[in-house]
Amino acid sequence: MKAVGLHPDVVVVTSRFWQTTCTLVRSGEEAFCIDSPVLPDELEILPSIAEQARFRVVGLLLTHADFDHVLGRYAFPDAPLGIGEPTDRRLQAEPGRVQKVLRDFDEEWYIERPGPLTMPEPQVLPVPGRCGIGDQELELHPAPGHTADGMAIWIPWARVLVCGDYLSPVEIPWLSESGSREDYLETLDRLEPLVEQAEHVVPGHGTPLDPVRAAAILREDREYLQGLPDSKLPLARRTGAQKKIHAENVERVGS
């Protein structure tokens, strides 16, 4: 697992699995953990990484409720959970789903965890909206399209955009089961001005980006989505795994 400091108040760790990112953000005495790494040893070491950087984690936030992003409770079992309204709707509509997907994943890869994933009663946050941390505020922006429940988080004092599963250097736009091409394109429009103001962009999967690279990926992704079902995969992301996602996307826009 890689850990990089983007700002005195922002540390990003990247999981060895799927390069899923987890962002620690701090204001004064309070820090939040946004999303999570995937593997048990990474989750186990996360509290010491936070402690060493003097981040006192008092809450968990999720960009969306896919299983690979929601594992922060394993690292910070007592921290309350904050989620956007759309994520709350999704979790209510599919009770136990995220735990089931995690169990299947762990079985497939022979991964052992200390116990089942517990999800506390969340604090539900309006999106768009703001969320107080220390003496500052995070901005919450709607980001549906990959799933129905995405939320992007803008950290104004650090000018860091944590966008969830968008603008990834390793994954093409993925219209998952609850996703939508129209929503995805609107989300890209909404993210564009934030990318322009950003110092760093943290995608849900892959290394943190400078704004120029993030803007280039945004343009590629827009072009890719607009061209579906006939579009070519972006050059740097033309792998076997991405071809499978592409096949899913083609099916999604055709149905």
* Count of residues that bind Zn ion according to CB under 5 A: 3
Of residues 155-194, which lie at the interface with Zn ion (CB under 5 A)? 165
Of residues 115-154, which lie at the interface with Zn ion (CB under 5 A)? none
Query: Which residue's CB is nearer to Zn ion, number 133 or number 245?
Result: 245
Scanning 50-58, 113-121, 125-133, 198-206 for contacts with Zn ion by CB under 5 A, the matching segment is: 198-206
DSSP of 44-75: HHHHHHHHHTT--EEEEE-S---GGG-THHHH
Query: Which residue's CB is nearer to Zn ion, number 24 or number 133?
Result: 24
Q: Write the secondary structure of 141-197 as one string of H (helix), E (strand) and C (coil).
A: EECCCCCCCCEEEEECCCCEEEEECCCCCCCCCCCCCCCCHHHHHHHHHHHHHHHHH
Scanning 62-70, 123-131, 135-143, 208-216 for contacts with Zn ion by CB under 5 A, the matching segment is: 62-70
Exactly one of 144, 204, 208, 211 binds Zn ion (CB under 5 A); that residue is 204
Structure tokens at 18: 């799927």
Query: Which residue's CB is nearer to Zn ion, number 9 or number 165?
Result: 165
CA 187 to chain centre: 14
Question: Under the criterion CB under 5 A, does residue 220 sit at the interface with Zn ion?
Answer: no
Scanning 4-12, 47-55, 135-143, 200-208 for contacts with Zn ion by CB under 5 A, the matching segment is: 200-208
What's phi and psi for 75, nearest 5 deg? -85, -40
Of residues 73-112, which lie at the interface with Zn ion (CB under 5 A)? none
Q: Are 218 and 182 in contact (CB under 8 A)?
A: no
For binding to Zn ion (CB under 5 A), which residues are involved?
66, 165, 204
